[in-house]
Structure 1
Amino acid sequence: MKLPRIQSAFLPLTAASFLVLVYNISFWKSFMAATGGFRASNLLVYLGSVLLLVFVFSGILALVNYRRLFKPVVIALLLLSSMTAYFMSQYGIVVDSSMVQNVVETDVREAGELFSWKMVQSVLLLGVLPSWLIWRLPVRYGSLRREVLVNVGLVAGSLLLATGLLFVLFKTLAPAVREHRELRFMLTPTNVFQATNGYLKQKWATPTVVAPLGTDAAKGSLWAAAGNQQRTVTILVVGETARSMNFSLNGYERDTNPLLAKVPSLVNFSNVSSCGTATAVSVPCVFSDLTRDGYSEDKARSKQGLLDVLQHAGLEVVWRDNNSGCKGVCDRVRFEDMSKPIPGNPLCNSEECFDEHLLEGLPEMIRNSTKDLVIVLHQKGSHGPAYWKRYPPEFKKFGPVCQTNELEQCSRESIMAAYDNSILYTDYFLDKTIKVLKEAGIPASMLYFSDHGESLGEKNMYLHGAPYIFSPEEQRKVPMMLWMSDSFSQRFHVDRSCLAARSGQQFSHDNVFHSTLGMLNVNTAVYNPKLDLFQACIHDA
């Protein structure tokens, strides 16, 4: 196919128009909603906004409008934009530094679940095909001196026109941009560069020296009280992508918690908010002494966390992982990777292991330890979009079930059914964890909380990772529950009826660090009783 020769001066405007109009469907939908919804009276605003962005993009592309430079740059942008646009339209995500962190820190198996034939087709059509056409396109360039002059003129002209349009539209655009900050995370491809820049700044700013925290930690007086000579074991279960509203313990219409509902003395906290909307943020945050308002990745990585403080107090700490790692919080404690498939193990398949695998060998670990134990179990939980892979076949109670990662091929009901089955399996897993603790015959406790929630089609959003400032409740509200053996609550003077009375109060991940120290009677200067949800329910003997 012979393509018509084009003058180089037209390239930036042509490429900019293609980028703005083809890859930004999600952006324009949100922009229209932010400016009062689609109506005829707004047509000039929409047209002016399109031209504004086209001129801005054109001015930027004019900076690279030279022989042997323009085509590779534009092809890279087309391929990047095609993939970004696909995920944004498919799952309703936005691209910020946290999303880039999720992409970088996820494992190959999790990432593989996001790929599909539809994605390949979309990238071929919107990325590879136009890239091939650009590569084949004959371009008429002049001398270098002439091209420099032309491109300088294009940059100046484009920015001048963009400035004029911005001046005319400012009264309409300013409130929309100010009140809908998510728009800047949705404009492709600038969102990718902005997000990557933010992520790299965080990574490069990460200090190499980790400051000690809570080195003064020591077991309190309740440990040494008369008769309290038995070892103790506490299990912290870090759930994955479980949202509070799909737990029947919290009023959900489906019976997703048939076993936990029968556990005596289980305390279910029904109003808990996460620190973030992605594992890469929430896990480091919840195990740090920082509140959500004071959290940043560089702050969290610059000092030790909860698990270190517990070790300073003389407890043995073990992290068992069936996910993509502990995001740095377990770097100084014993780590066991339970996520790798084991041939012949009925709890594993060729791709991954079910969460129940985390409990294998646990009774022996508890029995053989000579110290008081804190064990963290990091679930695979309800990680999507392949929810149907998160549970064994016998837990396929609700249906019909969506069994593809191309969620647009499934009804919302089938997506929800697959997700609810994964919650049902978590119910079984937590109940079995409690049984392991009961059978240990020593003072024992279990605290469960999820790292973040999940969108399942509400507001046309799927998965998680939305910037917290405008994230939906579905991604922020998480389940949390506590079980204690009678001997544990007696040893540490915890009034479980008092906790049950407080279970509907508003709590968050901010409470986990200090509540764990309070529950285990660990004294340290970094403990804040105001954030300890147990503090009001620990009574004198």
Structure 2
Amino acid sequence: MKFKPLPRLGAPLLPLYASAFLVLAYNFTFWKTFALATGGANLANAPVYAGAFLLLVLLFNAILTLLNFRFVIKPVLVLLFIGASFSTYFMNQYGIVIDSSMVQNVIETDVREANELFSWKMVQTVTILGILPAFVVWKLPLEFRPVRRDLLAKLGIVVFSLLAVAGLLLMLFKTLAPAIREHRELRFLLTPTNMFQATHGYLKRKWATPLVIAPLGTDASRGPKWAASAASGKHTVTLIVVGETARSMNFSLNGYSRDTNPQLARQKDLVNLSNVSSCGTATAVSVPCVFSDFPRDDYTAEKARSQEGLLDVLRHAGFDVLWRDNNSGCKGVCDRVRYEDLSQPVAGDPLCNTEECFDERLLRGLPEMIRNAEKDMVIVLHQKGSHGPAYAKRYPAAFGKFGPVCQTNELEQCSRESIVAAYDNTILYTDHVISAAIDILRAAAEEGKADTSLVYFSDHGESLGEKNMYLHGAPYIISPAEQRSVPMMLWLSQGFRSRFGIDNDCLGARSKQPFSHDNVFHSVLGMLNVSTAVYNPKLDLFHACTRGT
């Protein structure tokens, strides 16, 4: 079958048509948000929408005209259309925005996580909005003028377009200025500029990675309480459990209507902190942040990469530090300590399937590890937790208590209730994993093998359809509470509390006070009585409940 040849098009018109197509076809989320920012979609605002549309088309036209050369413009538009189709799919499907953190998530995720985002709807969107327009542009015959006339025409088009943009800005400034100032998320929603802005931000951070890591807490040593308890001859073992995508409002310990924490609710001496905020809304941000000594307001990825973190300070203080991972890596924070990757499926392992392993695998061998410890240990367990959108894959069938559940990663095929049910089952399974970890620590303490403790917190939360948002990764400044409010729990054996003089009742009395990831670095040092100049007692949530401080 032969296709009818496409009509020839004057080359100067291609950037204009492409610009109009970009602004119209890929920016549903942008225009919806813009309408809300300017008083709602109504006839009275039609001139504003028309002016904003024309402004963006002319701005894009000026930029693309600068690239409108033979052998250049077509490859550029092909890449733009295909990239923009992916961008618009994820924004429309999950309510996310495209920023540097999202680019980092895409680049640093593993193949299994990436596969979960694949769906036939994505294929359809990319085909219709990406591949087909790209094919048309590639096959379109263009008529280019002689070089001198072509350059003069380009100059005229760019100057006219920019002057028109300036005029429209002056006319619409009274409306646009407050809308853009009050709705900063608009710059993350405009496709394709959001892709370039986000990629530039990510590469700028990536290329700025220092070659030399500055040491931190090299003065770290055991405090006086270690000498007082040395006669016992028992080691200490502390588990730091890093949850994934768990939001506090779906924990029944925090008042959620479903009983998602039946096992933890029965754990004696558990302290549940119900008012905790995360450092970021994505793993690639929160994990490096929480293990750094920078508070969220002063944190940047560049700073975190430029110096050592909490695990290094503990290593300087003489602890044996181990990171056990069932996720997509530690994002650089465990580069200088022992590391075990438990995420790779093993044939015949009942805790694995063909694609991934369940979080209980993180607990395998822990009793023997504690029993045979020759040094005081800090073990980090990095969960797969509640990572979406395929929530139903995160837990064994026995924990499918709530239902019906969404069994696909194509969330548009599921009711919100079934999505939440699947997510709640992941929390139920996390409840089991943490409770089982506490049982291991309690047994070791009762056998006299070690003084044990556990700290659990999630890296960030998750949107489950609130305001039509799903998943996570929204820029922090505009992120909803569902993506920032995270669970946090503490459990200390009686021997651990006695050794370090920690009052559990006092901790319980502070359970509703506001805390954040900022507290983790200093609280771990405080609970283990590590003396170092980088320790800040004001951020140590144990400090007010520790005798002798």
TM-score, L = length of structure 1 = 0.99
From 396, 403, 412, the counterpart of 1:399: 403
Cα contact 1:231–1:443 (8 A) shared by 2:
yes
Worse overlay, 134-143 or 164-173: 134-143
- Report Cα offsets for 1:419-459 as digits up to 9, x if no partner: 00000000000010011111223210000000000000101
Aligned to 1:445: 453
Query: Take 1:423 and 1:436, find their aligned partners in 2: how far apart are those partners?
Result: 20
Q: Is 1:539 paired with 2:542? A: no
Deviation of 1:66 after TM superposition, in Å, equals 1.6
From 62, 80, 85, the counterpart of 1:82: 85
From 23, 27, 30, the counterpart of 1:27: 30
Task: Give the letter aligned to residue 353 of structure 1.
Answer: C
Deviation of 1:214 after TM superposition, in Å, equals 0.6
> Structure 2: any 5+ residue segments left out of the alignment?
none
Q: Is 1:259 paired with 2:263? A: yes
Query: Take 2:368 and 2:43, find their aligned partners in 1: how far apart are those partners?
Result: 70
- Report Cα offsets for 1:359-382 as digits up to 9, x if no partner: 111111111120011000000000
Task: Give the letter aligned to residue 195 of structure 1.
Answer: A
Q: Is 1:276 paired with 2:284? A: no
- Say which SS state the counterpart of residue 298 (structure 2) adopts: coil
Worse overlay, 62-71 or 48-57: 62-71
Q: Is 1:455 paired with 2:463? A: yes
Deviation of 1:2 after TM superposition, in Å, equals 2.2
Aligned to 1:212: 215
Cα contact 1:16–1:55 (8 A) shared by 2:
yes
- Say which SS state the counterpart of residue 407 (structure 2) adopts: coil
Query: Take 2:228 and 2:66, find their aligned partners in 1: how far apart are those partners?
Result: 74
Deviation of 1:228 after TM superposition, in Å, equals 3.6
Task: Give the letter aligned to residue 513 of structure 2.
Answer: Q
Deviation of 1:201 after TM superposition, in Å, equals 0.8
> Structure 1: any 5+ residue segments left out of the alignment?
none
Matched residues, number: 541
Q: Is 1:169 paired with 2:177? A: no
Q: Is 1:159 paired with 2:162? A: yes
Q: Is 1:517 paired with 2:520? A: no
- Report Cα offsets for 1:234-277 as digits up to 9, x if no partner: 00000000000000000000000000000011000000000000
From 469, 481, 492, the counterpart of 1:484: 492
- Say which SS state the counterpart of residue 354 (structure 2) adopts: coil
Query: Take 2:240 and 2:72, find their aligned partners in 1: how far apart are those partners?
Result: 54
Of all paired residues, the percent bearing the same amino acid is: 68
From 368, 371, 378, the counterpart of 1:374: 378
Aligned to 2:535: 527
Aligned to 1:467: 475
Query: Take 2:212 and 2:391, find their aligned partners in 1: how far apart are those partners?
Result: 39
From 59, 63, 66, the counterpart of 1:63: 66
- Report Cα offsets for 1:284-338 as digits up to 9, x if no partner: 0000110001100111111111001111111110000000100110011000000
- Report Cα offsets for 1:151-188 as digits up to 9, x if no partner: 11111111111111111000000001111111000100
Query: Take 2:548 and 2:163, find their aligned partners in 1: how far apart are those partners?
Result: 74
Aligned to 1:332: 336
Task: Give the letter aligned to residue 406 of structure 1.
Answer: E
Aligned to 1:345: 349
Aligned to 2:253: 249
Aligned to 1:233: 237
Query: Take 2:9 and 2:85, find their aligned partners in 1: how far apart are those partners?
Result: 24
Query: Take 1:253 and 1:104, find their aligned partners in 2: how far apart are those partners?
Result: 37
Worse overlay, 203-212 or 424-433: 203-212
Deviation of 1:10 after TM superposition, in Å, equals 1.1
Deviation of 1:83 after TM superposition, in Å, equals 0.7
- Say which SS state the counterpart of residue 185 (structure 2) adopts: helix
Aligned to 1:493: 501
Q: Is 1:109 paired with 2:112? A: yes
Worse overlay, 497-506 or 222-231: 222-231
Query: Take 2:305 and 2:73, find their aligned partners in 1: how far apart are those partners?
Result: 40
Query: Take 1:138 and 1:282, find their aligned partners in 2: how far apart are those partners?
Result: 49
RMSD, aligned α-carbons: 0.9
Deviation of 1:101 after TM superposition, in Å, equals 0.7
- Say which SS state the counterpart of residue 288 (structure 1) adopts: coil
- Report Cα offsets for 1:453-476 as digits up to 9, x if no partner: 000010111100000011000000
Query: Take 2:100 and 2:9, find their aligned partners in 1: how far apart are those partners?
Result: 38
Cα contact 1:386–1:404 (8 A) shared by 2:
yes
Query: Take 1:533 and 1:331, find their aligned partners in 2: how far apart are those partners?
Result: 27
Aligned to 2:182: 179
- Say which SS state the counterpart of residue 326 (structure 1) adopts: coil
- Report Cα offsets for 1:366-419 as digits up to 9, x if no partner: 111200110000000000001000000010000010011111111000000000
Cα contact 1:265–1:496 (8 A) shared by 2:
yes
Cα contact 1:256–1:420 (8 A) shared by 2:
yes
Query: Take 1:101 and 1:193, find their aligned partners in 2: how far apart are those partners?
Result: 13
- Say which SS state the counterpart of residue 443 (structure 1) adopts: strand
Query: Take 2:233 and 2:313, find their aligned partners in 1: how far apart are those partners?
Result: 22
- Say which SS state the counterpart of residue 270 (structure 1) adopts: strand
Query: Take 2:12 and 2:219, find their aligned partners in 1: how far apart are those partners?
Result: 68
Task: Give the letter aligned to residue 516 of structure 2.
Answer: S
- Report Cα offsets for 1:90-117 as digits up to 9, x if no partner: 0000011111111111111111111111
Q: Which aligned segments of 4 or more residues in structure 1 are displaced greater than 3 angstroms?
A: none
Cα contact 1:228–1:491 (8 A) shared by 2:
no
Q: Is 1:72 paired with 2:75? A: yes
Cα contact 1:66–1:147 (8 A) shared by 2:
no
Task: Give the letter aligned to residue 492 of structure 1.
Answer: F
- Say which SS state the counterpart of residue 355 (structure 2) adopts: coil
Aligned to 1:361: 365
- Say which SS state the counterpart of residue 513 (structure 2) adopts: coil
Query: Take 1:3 and 1:540, find their aligned partners in 2: how far apart are those partners?
Result: 83
- Say which SS state the counterpart of residue 446 (structure 1) adopts: strand
Query: Take 1:199 and 1:167, find their aligned partners in 2: how far apart are those partners?
Result: 33
Aligned to 1:384: 388
- Report Cα offsets for 1:504-534 as digits up to 9, x if no partner: 0000000000000000011111100000000
Aligned to 1:50: 53
Q: Is 1:191 paired with 2:199? A: no
Query: Take 2:313 and 2:233, find their aligned partners in 1: how far apart are those partners?
Result: 22
Deviation of 1:540 after TM superposition, in Å, equals 3.5
Task: Give the letter aligned to residue 170 of structure 1.
Answer: F
Q: Is 1:421 paired with 2:429? A: no
- Say which SS state the counterpart of residue 235 (structure 1) adopts: strand
Task: Give the letter aligned to residue 517 of structure 1.
Answer: L
Q: Is 1:285 paired with 2:289? A: yes
Q: Is 1:147 paired with 2:150? A: yes
Task: Give the letter aligned to residue 381 of structure 1.
Answer: G
Deviation of 1:229 after TM superposition, in Å, equals 2.4
- Say which SS state the counterpart of residue 402 (structure 2) adopts: coil
- Report Cα offsets for 1:136-165 as digits up to 9, x if no partner: 112121212221111111111111111111
Pairing of 1:89-104 with structure 2 (within 5 A): 89-104=92-107
Aligned to 1:303: 307
- Say which SS state the counterpart of residue 342 (structure 1) adopts: coil
Query: Take 1:36 and 1:159, find their aligned partners in 2: how far apart are those partners?
Result: 27
Task: Give the letter aligned to residue 137 of structure 1.
Answer: L
Q: Is 1:132 paired with 2:135? A: yes
Query: Take 1:159 and 1:298, find their aligned partners in 2: how far apart are those partners?
Result: 36
Worse overlay, 15-24 or 128-137: 128-137
Query: Take 1:137 and 1:313, find their aligned partners in 2: how far apart are those partners?
Result: 67
